Amino acid sequence: MKNILAKFWKSYSIGVVVVVVGIVLSFLTPRFISLDNLLNVMTNASLVAIMGLGMTLAIASGNFDLSVGSTAALAGCVSFSLVPSIGVTASIAAGLVVGAVVGLINGLIITELRVPAFIATLGMMTIVRGAALIYTDGKDLYLFGQTEYKVLSGTYLFGIPTPILFAVGISLLLGFIVSQTRFGRHILAIGSNFLAAQRSGIPTSRVIWMIFSIVGATAALSGMILSSQVLTANGRLATGIELSAIAVVVLGGTALSGGQSTMVGTLLGALLISMVNNGLNLLNVPIFYQELTVGVLMLGALAVNIGQGFDIRSILRRQA
């Protein structure tokens, strides 16, 4: 019985927390439960969730990517600036390509220069941020009269905001890739034991390039959605968002030690943070307290996550 409970908790803990927090918030402030507000909460969650889903792949492979915020900014700015000349669709595609290329460079630095992902992406975070600022000359970009770009943030399909559709669609796609394809299996193998993965013939470098390209593309999409919401882009877009992106993955239950992943978990993790922020807003809690609360939430999730994925006893046993 204890085992069943433990397993249940491990698989669904984030879902349980989301429901409980939702119920509590509904009682505290009835406005929370209104349809408009819920859609708003989910839209905000989607922004982080989309890059978080890419990040889930990186973390499942035992890596992570600190450059996603900067990538989002660069892709957002490039895409924005191209709209007048090449149109909305092509410029969105261009933004995705920019993101994927930044990701590929991350991957190459990791595999070819043998720099750990932490350092590689930390460096790229600064470099790409610099590139975005140089590209925009530090100014804001506006899209006057090009409201078509709103397609990324506004268009409703059955009344659902596009970012939510993107988040759900990408989670289904990546979830399928991880669990059903060779590439997905390779990601988990690399995250589980890199040396063993290499020795079972997995082309580890190629897999890492692919992972980081996908992370870059999802970051780019987040960045473009963000700028399309306000039809403004600048080099400081999405500053600091990389930590939230990692946090939602961990909150969702993907172990930082690699080897497993849950896309649904990442979605729910993003939803939880968005709900808490929104709830605290509705309750008129000052913004600084919101930051503090989210920080505590992340620490709590990390503590629980490490408790699950990292068993100190097994290490002691190995010593003996």
In the complex, least distance from residue 306 CB atom to another protein, rounded to whole angstroms: 15
The encoded tokens of residue 133 equal: 């600022």
Query: CA-CA distances (angstroms) from residue 265 to 11, 141, 168, 249, 261?
Result: 9, 35, 12, 7, 8
35 vs 40: CA distance, rounded Å: 8
Among 40, 111, 192, 308, binds another protein (CB under 8 A): 192
Q: Which is nearer to another protein, 174 or 280 (CB)?
A: 174
Is residue 111 close enough to count as binding another protein by CB under 8 A? no
In the complex, least distance from residue 88 CB atom to another protein, rounded to whole angstroms: 30
The encoded tokens of residue 257 equal: 């030690």
Q: Which is nearer to another protein, 191 or 252 (CB)?
A: 191
Of 88-96, 107-115, 228-236, 255-263, the segment contacting another protein by CB under 8 A is 255-263
Is residue 203 close enough to count as binding another protein by CB under 8 A? yes
Residue found under tokens 């506006």: 142
Query: CA-CA distances (angstroms) from residue 187 to 44, 183, 206?
Result: 29, 6, 11
Using CB under 8 A as the binding rule, the residues of this chain from 126 to 185 that contact another protein are 176, 180-182, 185
CA atoms within 13 A on the CB side of 169: 9
Among 102, 202, 247, 271, binds another protein (CB under 8 A): 202
Among 26, 40, 111, 198, binds another protein (CB under 8 A): 198
117-136 helix and 88-112 helix, angle to the nearest 10 degrees? 140
298 vs 310: CA distance, rounded Å: 17
Chain residues that interact with another protein, rule: CB under 8 A: 176, 180-182, 185-186, 188-189, 191-193, 195-203, 258-260, 318-320
